[in-house]
């Protein structure tokens, strides 16, 4: 193969989206798990967002004009999120995934990023081995949870839509829990009316830009996190990622009737500190 890796362009969309869909679909079908993208249209929408967002960087593998795969990094924070990576099922297991990973790891390093993170689907042995041999350390097992909205409230914990005036409190909370903030994502979420905060005793004790597959949540305590889960109108995508090591919240979710969909692994290169609080990562981290 005379394959090359190059930066992705907007007009790669028509070729990137079907590979994104078929790569994830084939692996989830083999293992009988729900797919990350429930339809070609969802994959197309996500690929379009990735290719058009000024702070996502994409690469594609191309051979004689045919796109064989793609990979992305989210550059909105000093810690970058990597993925989704996909390789055409017809040419998987031939080293293309490794080259797409190396290209984005090098891109992150060139830009001086402090760390790189990703979420790996645990049923896919190949990606776990690939990421590990590229230097990613497994930090925590994640449980993907799905179910009917819980429609519950806890006394003393109020949930409301956030405004731009709340973003500094959200960023401070994220820094306290994770040692870094995700201010640009938080501000974008206010613009999309998707940022919610929980208040307890007059302070913001948690925020979420959606309890779902592509979004993230940070809270100072299990109770604040449970409040955000309990008031979420839905859990978009295959489900939300809950660190399985959070016994209290995992056990509570199961008691509320939420179901375990699949397992995943939180993996990091570079700067990482054990989160000091309650949290839900999104599929990028």
Cβ proximity to ligand COA, 46 vs 229, nearer residue: 46
Per-residue binder mask for ligand COA (CB under 6 A), 42-81, x = binder: ----------------------------------------
User: Residue 124 has which token pair?
Assistant: 């896919």
Distances (CA, A) of 36 to 67, 194, 215, 234, 261: 20, 21, 14, 16, 11
Cβ proximity to ligand COA, 184 vs 263, nearer residue: 263
In terms of Cβ atoms closer than 10 Å to its own Cβ (0-12, 13-18, 19+), residue 116 is buried
Among 8, 16, 17, 23, binds ligand COA (CB under 6 A): 23
- Residues 6+ positions from 160 with CB-CB distance below 8 Å: 196, 197, 199
Question: What are the residue ranges of helices labelled H in 12-162?
Answer: 13-31, 40-52, 96-110, 125-133
Cβ proximity to ligand COA, 132 vs 221, nearer residue: 132
Cβ proximity to ligand COA, 83 vs 275, nearer residue: 83
Q: How far apart are CA 92 and CA 95, in angstroms?
A: 7
Among 35, 95, 141, 179, binds ligand COA (CB under 6 A): 95
Cβ proximity to ligand COA, 86 vs 140, nearer residue: 86
- Strands (DSSP E) contained in 192-285 are 196-200, 203-208, 217-219, 240-243, 259-270, 278-280
- Minimal distance, residue 270 CB to ligand COA, in Å: 19
Q: Answer whether 105's CB lies under 8 Å from 57's CB.
A: no
Interacting span for ligand COA (CB under 6 A) from 38-46, 48-56, 84-92, 213-221: 84-92
C-alpha angle 36-229-232 in degrees, rounded to nearest 5: 80
171 is an interface residue for ligand COA by CB under 6 A:
no
Per-residue binder mask for ligand COA (CB under 6 A), 111-140, x = binder: ---------xx--xxxx-xx--x-------
Helix or strand run (H / E) with residue 94: none
The single residue listed with the structure tokens 């869909």 is 21
Question: How big is the site for ligand COA, counted in residues (CB under 6 A)?
Answer: 22
Cβ proximity to ligand COA, 105 vs 219, nearer residue: 105
Cβ proximity to ligand COA, 83 vs 212, nearer residue: 83
Ramachandran area for residue 257 (φ above 0: left; ψ -120 to 50: alpha; else beta): left
Q: Which residue is nearest to ligand COA (CB)?
A: 97
Query: Contact residues for ligand COA (CB under 6 A)?
Result: 23-24, 27, 85-87, 92-98, 120-121, 124-127, 129-130, 133
């Amino acid at each position: 193969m005379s394959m090359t890796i190059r930066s992705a362009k907007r007009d790669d969309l028509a070729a990137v989206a079907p590979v994104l869909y078929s790569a994830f679909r084939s692996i989830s079908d083999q293992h009988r798990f729900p797919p990350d993208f429930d339809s070609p249209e969802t994959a197309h929408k996500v690929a379009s967002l990735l290719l058009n967002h000024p702070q996502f960087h994409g690469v594609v593998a191309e051979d004689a004009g045919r796109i064989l795969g793609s990979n992305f990094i989210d550059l909105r924070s000093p810690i970058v999120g990597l993925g989704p990576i996909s390789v055409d099922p017809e040419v998987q297991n031939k080293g293309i995934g490794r080259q797409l990973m190396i290209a984005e790891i090098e891109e992150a390093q060139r830009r001086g990023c402090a760390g790189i993170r990703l979420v790996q689907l645990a049923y896919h042995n190949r990606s776990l081995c690939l990421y590990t041999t590229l230097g990613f350390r497994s930090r925590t097992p994640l449980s993907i949870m799905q179910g009917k909205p819980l429609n519950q409230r806890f006394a003393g914990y109020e949930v409301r839509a956030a405004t731009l005036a709340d973003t500094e409190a959200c960023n401070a909370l994220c820094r306290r829990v994770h040692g870094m903030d995700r201010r640009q994502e938080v501000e974008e979420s206010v613009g999309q009316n998707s940022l919610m905060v929980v208040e307890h005793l007059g302070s913001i004790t948690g925020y979420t830009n959606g309890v779902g597959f592509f979004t993230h949540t940070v809270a100072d305590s299990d109770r604040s996190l449970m409040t955000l889960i309990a008031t979420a109108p839905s859990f978009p995508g295959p489900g939300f990622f809950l660190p399985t090591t959070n016994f209290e919240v995992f056990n509570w979710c199961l008691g509320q009737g939420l179901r375990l969909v699949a397992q995943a692994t939180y993996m990091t290169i570079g700067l990482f500190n054990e989160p000091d609080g309650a949290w839900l990562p999104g599929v990028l981290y």
